[in-house]
Structure 1
Amino acid sequence: MNAEFVEGWTIAQTLGEGTFGEVKLLVNQKNNSTVAMKVIDLKNYPDALEMVKKEATIHCRLKHPSIIKYFGQRHCKDSYYIFLEYASGGELFDRIEPDIGMPQSDARKFFKELIAGVEYLHNNGIVHRDLKPENLLLDEHGNLKISDFGLATMFLCNGKRRRLENSCGTRPYLAPEVLSHLPYQAEPSDIWSCGIILVSMLAGELPWEMPSDDEIEYKLWKTTDYANHSPWCKLDTLALSLVRKILIPMPSRRYDISKICSHRWLKKSKSCDNKVSVPVCTDRDFDEARPCYSQPALAANNYPTVSIPPNESDIHSFSQPTQVEDLLLSTQLLTSQSATTSTNSSIQKLVKRMTRFIVTLSPEDALSKLSQFLDDLGYTWKINTAGLVTITTADQRLVFKSNVIPMNNQTLMDFRLSRGCGLEFKRHFVVIKKSMAKIISKGPLMWPVAIVTNTVP
């Protein structure tokens, strides 16, 4: 795996995957600086070229504190590379505890940063069209960054505005007009998605599968009897007031960004939050000492309009892990020429993350036990390569992977979302972890460096 990509830069790890390729972490051998590299497999997906060029064209023009930085692109016969800021704080969705959410003060901070980034996009005639927690990353200081512009498009150019027609995005976050198959205005559709993100941060759940009158939960929302039902009963009065102004089915009546920014909920102080009863995560099933994260979808560029299949479950999210401080890195191996022999020694970087645990078994026995538990729990699974298991839920709406990694006399089992809802993935992880509780290491988690040797091509 570890190989020199270009002079001075080593591919340290595959961070995630998507429909058309992977995201890899590049580490500079001299100063250990990092860059995220999205690799599009044009050999197997030649039709992805135009979409990636569109994404790159959009992303390269964006410069804002709440937008992930674009560094450049490289194109060869079989691959298209996009180089982006490595968001070492991971994904926003990994800060959201299922069915609980996060402290209201944190949600307010992230929502302000999200709205600032969306306002910048709209002022530049760009609509994102796939805003969701998995596409919102955090830098090392915990600042939110909008990522993944694969479905973004221009709606305003040289003063000329156009309505959009393509129904694309992720269903729970879609505005109702996007599902209508009629032309719709760009900005209100992004604002609706921001409202759903706010609900997920405050309540730890999504309000509906999609905003359709076929959905009981959505129909309830449009009545006067919603307030005693989840997730709305988890929101305080001011937060619910703001959500009610954003999640208005009629786009022309929906709050715009200026009205959102002037709402009282956004102006509340942290001290006021402390007087409100807000759920706090106490779930010991989630790992280790502090929250950990995983960076999601990194985007490409160039665009007009990019359509996706009606069922967004066919779209995989690119994802990265997290904190640079937690990447267990032997700088000697990366910087010292003496570390290179006939094979190139390099590091498998490991990141503290919520969705992993260590078991007191060999990798072979751990894999056997995992397979047994997955069968008992009704999952479909297959072993792709040695130590890598792809797991699919019974309804096939969620796909995630477990990487079985030897660590001293134990085995690390690292789970990563491949396709589907991040919150639902966490719920399934908790179920699997509970089922394997008897073989999970009870001692303090040690994070040794796993050494990997590969011949440099």
Structure 2
Amino acid sequence: MATQIGTEAEEFVEGWDFIQTLGEGAYGEVKLVVNRMTQEAVAVKIIDLSKYPAAKNDIRKEIAVHRLLKHKNIIQFFGNRVEGKLHYIFLEYAAGGELFDRIEPDIGMPQPDAQLYFRQLVEGMAYLHKLGVTHRDVKPENLLLDTDDTLKITDFGLATVFRYQGKERQLNKRCGTLPYVAPEVISAKEYKAEPADIWSCGVVLVALLAGELPWDQPHYDNKEYYDWKECNITLTPWSKINNLALSLLRKILLPNVEKRASIEQIQNHVWFTKKFNKDVSNLSSTIATSKRKCSNLNLSPSPTKEYSTGMSASQPLWHGSAGADIDHKPVLEGLLHGACFSQPVHKADDILISTQMHGTQGNSQTLLQKLVKRMTRFIVTTAADETIDRLTTVLKDMPGYSYKHNSLGEVTITTRDRRNVPLVFKAHLLDMNSNILLDFRLSKGDGIEFKRHFLKIKRKLTAIVNVKAPITWPSPAVSSPMLSTT
């Protein structure tokens, strides 16, 4: 049977169309819906509680925290609605895509760009902490961009309140993503919320500047972490980072919580305040890495043996006020209150729901222009069936890869990354006005690793890549998206 690409957008409710699946999670999907008349775009997270009853408390807690937040660097929460066992959460749509997509594997990005995004991340975290909220899963996959390159923190599934009415509490849940968590989070002891988030921000900065993560986990048994503690900073990723940025990382990535930099100290650091020229390289051209000193590293002694690699995905329950409802735009009223939802939710593959959330509105763009910006896509010279044949043939010849292909033109690819952690991503076909776009989307795993595997697959498909139409962003020249539905 011929591979189907799809012929039209699918109606979500009256006046609103499904345009694209943005992501999948343990309890459902995140989809982009666009108002047919106004072209307003909204991300909707769909959870089927009949299939996943355990999600009820998690979703309630996520909503209670997220609805408190309103800041330019936080994905906006518009509202939620329940239809029987189906739960809908409506969020801002960030059309600029995921931050990890801007990171070149093993390279990173220019310092001015890294500084731009890091400044916004710190500003967003300062806002959260001022409200007494901790995110607890800061990583590039949870950082989105709008069309103006404004960074948006998303995915508050692990967030909790650590300060309420002036009273602060320590946390004890081990949760987050291992390469980004602070050492005290995995030590099976109580920990302070703010320093733990700050540590994660520091690991994000390493990824921005070096295009790789510094360690699998911040534990003394890990060689890369041990090297950092022992001031061996002539090795990668530290050798890719200039001394000014490294001096900031020395203050952030301190196991000693009491000496770890605060947000105010980060904002006053010379790297944070310096005005970089756009042609500044990641690497320092004037100071050799071999001459670096570790005198101000101030690393604490190794953690004790009291340690477990089991990370919890749950957060402590907070019974405080949920906050006032946000005033919704009139065009959203049909989504939030009156419309009848008819689209069934399809089973997901045990993936974090909001890893792929995107968000922002526009009022004059075509439906196609609403597609999220993504570097992991390209136009092919082959027809749909041949494209799928070429892709699956390549995957068969790549050790460690497996795949499933359905008749809707979607291939689910499963492998393991360099840390031996499962990595799942999907490739599907989009009809771009007589051209076929092969689009890849992360489902589960590390974003930088996903991009590294995408580039490997793309190189093996060089023969069918249309170099005359190197689409990486949505093009205004094509009329309408022809998307496969899942």
| Partner residue in 1 for 2:405 | 383
Query: What is the TM-score of this pair, normalised by structure 1?
Result: 0.83
Retained in 1: the 8 A contact 2:30–2:353?
no
Of 235-244 and 15-24, more deviation after overlay is shown by: 15-24
Taking the aligned partners of 1:251 and 1:202, their CA distance within structure 2 comes to 24
If asked which structure has higher relative contact order (CA below 8 Å, sep 6+), I would say 2
| Partner residue in 1 for 2:455 | 430
| Partner residue in 1 for 2:347 | none
1:260 to 266, 286, 295: 266
- The answer to whether residue 377 in structure 2 is matched with residue 353 in structure 1 is no
Give the secondary-structure state (helix, strand or coil) at the position aligned to 1:62: coil
Taking the aligned partners of 1:317 and 1:34, their CA distance within structure 2 comes to 17
- The answer to whether residue 386 in structure 2 is matched with residue 365 in structure 1 is yes
What are the Cα deviations for residues 50-89 of structure 1, in whole angstroms up to 9, with x where unaligned? 1011101101011112111111110122211111111121
Change over 3 Å in CA distance of 1:92–1:432 after alignment to 2: same
2:133 to 121, 126, 142: 126
Retained in 2: the 8 A contact 1:203–1:234?
yes
- For residue 253 of structure 1, report the CA deviation from its aligned partner: 1.4
Taking the aligned partners of 1:161 and 1:324, their CA distance within structure 2 comes to 37
- The answer to whether residue 265 in structure 2 is matched with residue 232 in structure 1 is no
The within-5 A match list for 1:394-433 is 394=416, 395=420, 397-407=422-432, 410-433=435-458
Retained in 2: the 8 A contact 1:115–1:257?
yes
Taking the aligned partners of 1:124 and 1:266, their CA distance within structure 2 comes to 23
Taking the aligned partners of 2:354 and 2:451, their CA distance within structure 1 comes to 15
Taking the aligned partners of 1:232 and 1:211, their CA distance within structure 2 comes to 15
Give the secondary-structure state (helix, strand or coil) at the position aligned to 2:157: coil
Q: Which amino acid aligns with 1:177?
A: E
Change over 3 Å in CA distance of 1:139–1:349 after alignment to 2: closer
Retained in 1: the 8 A contact 2:110–2:281?
no
Taking the aligned partners of 1:86 and 1:367, their CA distance within structure 2 comes to 30
| Partner residue in 1 for 2:317 | 304
Retained in 1: the 8 A contact 2:22–2:32?
yes
Taking the aligned partners of 1:279 and 1:96, their CA distance within structure 2 comes to 16
Taking the aligned partners of 2:60 and 2:215, their CA distance within structure 1 comes to 33
Retained in 1: the 8 A contact 2:146–2:359?
no
Change over 3 Å in CA distance of 1:55–1:380 after alignment to 2: same
| Partner residue in 1 for 2:254 | 248
What are the Cα deviations for residues 248-283 of structure 1, in whole angstroms up to 9, with x where unaligned? 012111111111111111111124x75x53369xxx
| Partner residue in 1 for 2:302 | none
What are the Cα deviations for residues 80-104 of structure 1, in whole angstroms up to 9, with x where unaligned? 1111111121111111111111111
- For residue 407 of structure 1, report the CA deviation from its aligned partner: 4.5
The within-5 A match list for 1:212-223 is 212-223=219-230
Taking the aligned partners of 1:173 and 1:453, their CA distance within structure 2 comes to 35
Give the secondary-structure state (helix, strand or coil) at the position aligned to 1:270: coil
Retained in 1: the 8 A contact 2:144–2:358?
no
Taking the aligned partners of 1:5 and 1:114, their CA distance within structure 2 comes to 33
- For residue 146 of structure 1, report the CA deviation from its aligned partner: 0.9
| Partner residue in 2 for 1:442 | 467
| Partner residue in 1 for 2:322 | none
Of 349-358 and 133-142, more deviation after overlay is shown by: 349-358
Retained in 2: the 8 A contact 1:12–1:348?
no
Change over 3 Å in CA distance of 1:451–1:143 after alignment to 2: closer
Change over 3 Å in CA distance of 1:321–1:183 after alignment to 2: closer
- The answer to whether residue 27 in structure 2 is matched with residue 20 in structure 1 is yes
Give the secondary-structure state (helix, strand or coil) at the position aligned to 2:467: coil
Taking the aligned partners of 1:132 and 1:24, their CA distance within structure 2 comes to 21
Taking the aligned partners of 2:481 and 2:241, their CA distance within structure 1 comes to 47
Change over 3 Å in CA distance of 1:263–1:396 after alignment to 2: closer
Taking the aligned partners of 2:253 and 2:455, their CA distance within structure 1 comes to 31
Retained in 2: the 8 A contact 1:53–1:302?
no
Retained in 1: the 8 A contact 2:432–2:482?
no
| Partner residue in 2 for 1:41 | 48
Retained in 1: the 8 A contact 2:48–2:85?
yes
1:52 to 59, 63, 70: 59
Of 368-377 and 315-324, more deviation after overlay is shown by: 315-324
Give the secondary-structure state (helix, strand or coil) at the position aligned to 1:27: strand
Change over 3 Å in CA distance of 1:60–1:93 after alignment to 2: same
- For residue 220 of structure 1, report the CA deviation from its aligned partner: 0.4
Give the secondary-structure state (helix, strand or coil) at the position aligned to 2:137: coil
| Partner residue in 2 for 1:95 | 102
For the aligned residue pairs, the C-alpha RMSD in angstroms reads: 2.7
Give the secondary-structure state (helix, strand or coil) at the position aligned to 1:5: strand
**Number of residue equivalences:** 408
- The answer to whether residue 171 in structure 2 is matched with residue 164 in structure 1 is yes
Unpaired stretches in structure 1, ≥5 consecutive residues = 281-300, 306-312, 331-346
1:82 to 77, 82, 89: 89
Unpaired stretches in structure 2, ≥5 consecutive residues = 1-7, 285-313, 319-349
What are the Cα deviations for residues 298-353 of structure 1, in whole angstroms up to 9, with x where unaligned? xxx99737xxxxxxx9646541568978x9836xxxxxxxxxxxxxxxx7964552
Query: What is the TM-score of this pair, normalised by structure 2?
Result: 0.78
The within-5 A match list for 1:305-344 is 315=352, 317-320=354-357, 329=366
Retained in 2: the 8 A contact 1:27–1:35?
yes
| Partner residue in 2 for 1:310 | none
